[in-house]
Every structure is written in structure tokens, then in C-alpha cells.
Structure 1
Amino acid sequence: MTDSARLALPYLDAGQAQKEWTHNEALALIDIAVQASVEAVGVDAPPASPAAGACWIVGAAPSGAWNGHAGAIAGWTDGGWRFLAPRPGMAAWSRADATAVRYGAQGWRLDRVAPIASPTGGATVDAECRSAVVAILGALRAQGWLA
């Protein structure tokens, strides 16, 4: 059996018996991936009593049922844990952080602009404004929002 290139969803094989197993597995993974929403990011231990449909982004040192799935999206289903390996550009909403997270070369990152201090003091308003704009542009570049 082969898997899809982007999300590694299982394909049905010609003449395969019990196709519903493969099809249902693919649907469970799609349910985790599409419009992804996670409870928290970087969690290493699975929760004791997760609700069906709840998902987490596994941390760097997973334990228990999550062992070997660092960085994956772990989703609890009626059939147990399902894991979706992240792909570059994949995004999810983190409920704990109330913001989007995105997967890239450096792993999962919050889609937030770093805090920028408000300009204070100074006799020339233009110099303060330029300083603030430079700080804003620097923060946006550091987050990858500007080239």
C-alpha cells in the first residue's frame, strides 16, 4: 500500500479487502489536518483523559503513547492516538496561546510579532518615529512576514 505525498494518507489498493479500514484511517488523519486546532504546543506527555477529537502538538521529548512522535500533531480518536507528521507550511490554531502556529525549518513557531517597545523621550518626533518603524520592520522580518 502506498501513501499520499503530502500528508501520508493511506491509499486504497486494487482488490484490497476491507477497504473501509484504509478509507477510515485516511478520514481520521484528514479530520486532524484540515483546519487544525490544538489544545497546546510542545506537550511531551499525553493527557490522561483526552476528549475525542482533541489534538496536541507533541514536544521534543515525548513519553508514553507519544514516544517517537516528536513534533507531530497527536489527535485522540475513538480508535486511540493518531499522529500526523508536520510538513513545511502546515498551520494550526493553538487554543492555549490564542494564536496560530506554523511549521517550518525551525519546527513549530507561534505566528506572533515580537513585542516592540513604544518610543519614549527625545526632542525630535521624526527620529522617534523612524526608530519605531525600524523596530516594527525588524520584528516582521524576524517572524518571516517580510523579506
Structure 2
Amino acid sequence: MMDDTPRWTLPLLAAGQAQKEMTHNEALSLLDLIVHPCVEAVGPNAPPPSPLTGQAWIVGDQPVGDWTGRAGMLAGWTEGGWRFLVPRIGLTVWSRADDCRCDWDGSQWRLGRIVGRSLIIEGKKVVGAQRPAIAQPAGGQVVDSEARLVLNAVISALRDHGLVASG
């Protein structure tokens, strides 16, 4: 029989276990940290001097003090002290300090990155996959310099936004 759950390593109760409330409470503390997580900041290496119960952080790459050996983990302060969770691919937290989300991609935390296949606003697809390059206007029998400037500006804006590949 397993001692922990396979994904988040939450402690499981054993048949005939004494003091089951301790195992149960530990599992609830870890669930409180991971369900709809919100962190105070991403990447500090030192624990804060006076954390409040329920606050959490994503530990930086060079942790010290109580966080030593916990790089990249989700650290939460509880009445019983620090609790740590190893992130799993797809974990998303909200960073209060950065006012954006942060995702674990399996090897590092990605702050503020949004990955998707399209952007839909009010039911209308406004951004999709990048299109092929558009050739710059050139030549022709009649050169309209103002029209060419406008076309170049539109093409440049589309390229700057990554919607059209550079030619």
C-alpha cells in the first residue's frame, strides 16, 4: 500500500493507524497550499522574517535558511511551520508581487507567460497562428509613396506582434 498520494505526495491514512488526525491535518495543510494557489512572490531565496499563516512563496534557485534544499518548491507557512510541495507540470499560481500568473513547465517557473492556440474575445477569434511572411511592396508602374508607407507600417506592426513571419 502507498504511504502518499502519487501526484502531490499527500500523506494517506493507514489501517489501524494511531493519531490519524495528525496525518489527516498534514494532508489538509498541503491541500490548502495547492488548491487555487496564490503566492506572495516568485523567486526569493530567503524565507520572510515574519510570515503570516496561509502565505506562500515560490522558492528561488539559491535558497537559504529554512528553505535550504527546496529550490523551485512552493513554500507555505502554517501554524506548524513551513510546508513544501514539489511542483508538477501544469501547476499555475498567482503572484501577488507581479500581478500575474506563473506556471511550472517541468523544469522552471515561467512568470507572465500565456500559452494558447488562439485568442478569443467576446466569441470572436482575434489572434491565431502566425501566418507566412508578406513581401514588402516594391516596384509597380505608379508609386504611391503614402500608400507604400502605410502598407509598410501595417506589415511591420504585424511582424512586431508575431502575427506574420519576417520575410
Write the distance in 2 (CA, Å) between the matches of 1:133 and 1:5.
45
> SS of 1:74's equivalent?
strand
Aligned to 1:124: 149
TM alignment of 1:60-71, pairs within 5 A: 60-71=61-72
122-131 vs 53-62, which moves further: 122-131
> SS of 1:43's equivalent?
coil
Aligned to 1:102: 103
Query: TM-score, normalized by length of structure 1?
Result: 0.82
CA RMSD of aligned residues (A): 1.7
Aligned to 2:129: none
Letter of the 2:9 counterpart = A
Letter of the 1:9 counterpart = L
Asked whether the 8 Å contact 2:88–2:106 carries over to 1, the reply is no
Write the distance in 1 (CA, Å) between the matches of 2:47 and 2:63.
8
Offset at residue 20 of structure 1 (A): 0.7
Write the distance in 1 (CA, Å) between the matches of 2:162 and 2:107.
21
Letter of the 2:32 counterpart = D
1:56 aligns with 2:57: yes
Write the distance in 1 (CA, Å) between the matches of 2:160 and 2:16.
61
Q: Which structure has more RCO (C-alpha within 8 Å, separation ≥ 6)?
A: 1
Write the distance in 1 (CA, Å) between the matches of 2:24 and 2:90.
25
Offset at residue 106 of structure 1 (A): 3.9
Listed as ranges, the gaps of 5+ residues in structure 1 are 114-121, 139-147
Letter of the 1:12 counterpart = L
TM alignment of 1:3-42, pairs within 5 A: 3-42=4-43
Moved over 6 A (4+): none
Offset at residue 123 of structure 1 (A): 4.5
Letter of the 1:108 counterpart = W
Offset at residue 14 of structure 1 (A): 1.2
Query: TM-score, normalized by length of structure 2?
Result: 0.72
Write the distance in 2 (CA, Å) between the matches of 1:102 and 1:133.
27
- Determine which structure has more spread, i.e. the larger CA radius of gyration: 2
> SS of 2:161's equivalent?
helix
Letter of the 2:84 counterpart = F
Offset at residue 15 of structure 1 (A): 1.2
| Residue correspondences, number | 130
